[in-house]
């Protein structure tokens, strides 16, 4: 990400990823420190989807939206037994709409950073 400062990155991550403490408290602290550090880069936006959210547009599974240098869009959706590369513009449009909705349902960028810092302090 540092090599491509003009490339915009936007991430929405589930709060429970940081609560799980996979690898123990030290690993969780390192993970949070890394995410906070990356989230402070000018071309990176990180939002946290709170655990206490009865429903949100991303519950059908993770997705990645990718734009090529020639402004062609792709999506990648992944499940436990495989992934799907999506190139159909209609499907891409639906996934863009879902992502936009998820951004409105997640914590703001500032609130997400604040939550991560509080979680780090609790470890």
Whole-prediction pTM: 0.83
Place of tokens 């990155």: 9
Kindly report which listed range (9-13, 18-22, 38-42) carries the lowest average pLDDT score. Answer: 18-22
DSSP string, the chain: -TT-TTS-EEEEEETHHHHS-TT-HHHHHHHHHHHHHHHTSTTEEEEEE-SS-S--TTTT--EEEEE-TTS-EEEEEEETTEEEEE--HHHHHHHHHHHHHHHHHSPPHHHHHHHHHHHHHH-
Question: pLDDT class for 2, splitting at 50, 70, 90?
Answer: low
Choice among 3-7, 43-47, 118-122 with the minimum mean pLDDT:
3-7
CA angle, residues 17, 6, 36, in degrees to nearest 5:
30
pLDDT band at 122 (very low <50, low <70, confident <90, very high): confident
Number of other residues whose CB lies within 10 A of the CB of residue 35: 21
Q: How confident is the model over 72-103, as pLDDT tens digits?
A: 999 999 988 889 999 999 999 999 999 999 99
60 vs 36, higher pLDDT: 36
- Split at pLDDT 50, 70, 90, the class of 22 is confident
Which residues contact residue 43 at a Cβ distance below 8 angstroms, ignoring those fewer than 6 apart? 1, 4, 5, 6, 7, 8, 9
């Amino acid at each position: 990400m540092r090599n491509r400062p003009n490339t915009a990155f936007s991430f929405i991550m589930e709060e429970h990823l940081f609560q799980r403490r996979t690898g123990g408290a030290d690993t969780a602290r390192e993970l949070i420190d890394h995410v906070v550090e990356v989230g402070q880069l000018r071309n990176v936006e990180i939002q946290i989807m709170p655990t206490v959210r009865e429903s949100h547009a991303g519950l059908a599974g993770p997705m990645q939206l990718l734009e090529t240098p020639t402004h062609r869009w792709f999506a990648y959706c992944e499940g436990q037994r495989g992934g799907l590369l999506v190139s159909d513009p209609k499907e891409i449009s639906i996934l863009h709409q879902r992502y936009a909705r998820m951004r409105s349902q997640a914590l703001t960028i500032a609130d997400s950073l604040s939550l991560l810092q509080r979680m780090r302090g609790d470890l």
